[in-house]
Structure 1
Amino acid sequence: MNDEFSLEEVLGSKVRIRILKALFRLGEANITRIARETNTHFSLVEKHLQKLKEIGIVEEKRIGRIRLFGLNYSNPKVHLLMELIRSMEGT
């Protein structure tokens, strides 16, 4: 995990922004649910989740064969990102 990242890495992709918004709403979800919520193909969601995980924004939890993803709230930058998204969305 790398806590250092650029805004472009996170916010430079519409898919990543949709994934972050979905995880903010859902809490934790598997890739299929995130793909459905974001109207994005499974493999594309999987690719972007991997990148978000690498930079420490998303964490993965395994329960048997099920992979659940959620925001990594232990990273203070996640709180800032969510605040930015919330203010931009007007919620």
Structure 2
Amino acid sequence: MLTLEKKPEMFNIEEIFASKGRVKIIKILVQEEELNISEIVDRARLNHKSTLKHLKFLTKAGIVQEKIYGRIRIYRIKFEDYRVKAIKKMIDVWETF
């Protein structure tokens, strides 16, 4: 059976921002750069399962990178991605008001 995986650049803006949870996680990672999942759960005030689901989505979309150190998973925003740069600018402008 052939399964087609979307390439990161194929995710559209509606998919990225379709969830309040994803928006919260993006904002947190833009501010903090990298955190483990427990810190993201606490700051986003989301449950572990939905946070993990959103992080997996954002990783597939190429917005977030997962680093694994033994049993510890660290998630970082990919500032080198042009879309993340645009998202950061938008958040910076939005948060100044």
Q: Does 1:25 align with 2:21?
A: no
- Trace 1:1-91 onto structure 2 (pairs within 5 A): 2-90=8-96
For the pair shown, the structure with the greater C-alpha radius of gyration is 2
Scaled by the length of structure 2, the TM-score of the pair is 0.86
Q: Distance in 1 between matches of 2:96 and 2:12?
A: 24
Cα RMSD for the two superposed structures: 1.3
Give the total of aligned pairs. Answer: 91
The Cα of 1:75 is off from its aligned counterpart by 1.2
Q: What residue identity is the alignment partner of 2:85?
A: H
Q: Distance in 2 between matches of 1:8 and 1:79?
A: 17
Structure 1 residue ranges, 4+ long, deviating more than 6 angstroms after superposition? none
Scaled by the length of structure 1, the TM-score of the pair is 0.91
Deviations 1:35-87 (A, max 9, x none): 00011101100000000000100000111111000101221111001111221
Percent identity between matched residues is: 32
Q: Distance in 1 between matches of 2:84 and 2:10?
A: 12
Say which SS state the counterpart of residue 3 (structure 1) adopts.
helix
